[in-house]
A = this chain, B = another copy of it.
Amino acid sequence: MALTYTLEAQEPAGAARAGRIVTAHGPVQTPAFMPVGTAGSVKTLTPDELLGTGADILLSNTYHLALRPGVETVRAMGGLHRFMGWQGTILTDSGGFQVMSMSPLRKITDEGVEFRSHLDGSRALLTPEEAIRIQDGLGTDIAMSLDELVESPSTAAEVSEAVDRTLLWAERGLAARQRLRDEGRGSMALFGINQGGTDPAERRRCFESLGAMPFDGFALGGLWVGEGKSLGLEMVAHDAAMFPVDRPRYLMGVGHPVDMVEAIDRGVDMFDCVLPTRNARRGTVFISTGRLVVKNAAYARDERPLDPDCDCYTCRRFSRAYLRHLFAAGELLGMRLASLHAIHHMIRLVRDARAAIVAGRYAAFRVSFLERFHSGETLVPALAG
């Protein structure tokens, strides 16, 4: 088995679940937050710092790595784990989302996605088979099937066509992995992605086929793309209810703390998002009581840490005043310290959620988390001296 999933606890009053995934690179506790290492680096942080936050799984982007340094270079350097010095689990995306969002050209046919590199303009075709071969070449633990995502709103015909193509590509991806396995490669796990936009019937139709395929886990695709949070959460509840209990469920691209707590409540196991670290590099971090814009001049003499409740390195060692100064002066250390807090904060959130599920008190955890997050406590700047 490329991956095992063990369900360890389920909230009696809801769908929240705690579990454990085991891959070739060790165990992953769920619910899990995956920091994003787009180009083989979670921006500004070392793999040892990530380990120190408690992270046990990272996401890396196939499209970026395939363009630079190239899959052959990563393979020659012993695979992505060795190349970037991360010995935990790695999940890679299929490359499809980046191709569709970053390429100056994209043409989608049943064959695949034709695109141009955003780096040098060279033309290439990403097929479902190629997506699998690249991810295998990178040495990922968990690969994602190439899917077609539609934006919101889309017409019913567009949604339906994307479902059909996603299913076609899912089968071809699995077949490509099987061929790799016949050659002694392709040992990675593979997740299928459910589509269907915000139409419950289409999502059901998609999963009726997808769920019958031998995927190691399933992702909720096409959500958080403009449909609004309450509709998004409805779709999460809808998909999670039909997904098998014995395989992990991954809500792609979602990482706002409130969204995560709500999606965990509806049965999701895995998350990834660049938002916490991207915000951090711009001087804004989530703390337990809200969103702190530490680069604001109002914090210039605030001696408190980013989050008085946090025990990350940044919060143990530095004041908001110092962080504010680093951002004002354009010092990279500011981005770095804020990013470290950001990852630590997200990992701690999923660990706290997990502990609450195991203890059978997730419903209460959710309420108190939301109350505290919206309290805004400590966000009002303190003036020293």
Contact = CB atoms under 8 A, between A and B. Distances in A.
Contacts of A318: 85
B321 A77 contact: yes
A319 B385 CA distance: 48
Interface in A195-236: none
A38 to B, nearest CB: 9
B332 A332 contact: yes
A28 B317 CA distance: 23
A86 to B, nearest CB: 11
A180 interface: no
Contacts of A69: 300, 321, 324-325, 328-329
A2 to B, nearest CB: 25
A46 B321 contact: no
Interface string A309-323: 000010001110110
B317 A85 contact: yes
A45 B326 CA distance: 12
A40 to B, nearest CB: 6
Contacts of A331: 39-41, 43
Contact of A332 (B47, B64, B335): B335
Interface in A129-147: none
Contacts of A47: 317
Contact of A333 (B41, B317, B326, B333): B41
A384 B79 CA distance: 13
A237 interface: no
Contact of A301 (B73, B303, B313): B73
A73 B385 CA distance: 9
Interface of A: 39-41, 43-48, 64, 68-69, 73, 76-77, 83-85, 300-301, 303, 313, 317-319, 321-322, 324-326, 328-329, 331-333, 335-337, 384-385
17 contacts: A41-B329, A45-B333, A46-B313, A46-B317, A46-B333, A46-B337, A69-B321, A69-B328, A73-B300, A73-B301, A73-B325, A76-B301, A77-B322, A83-B325, A85-B322, A332-B335, A332-B336
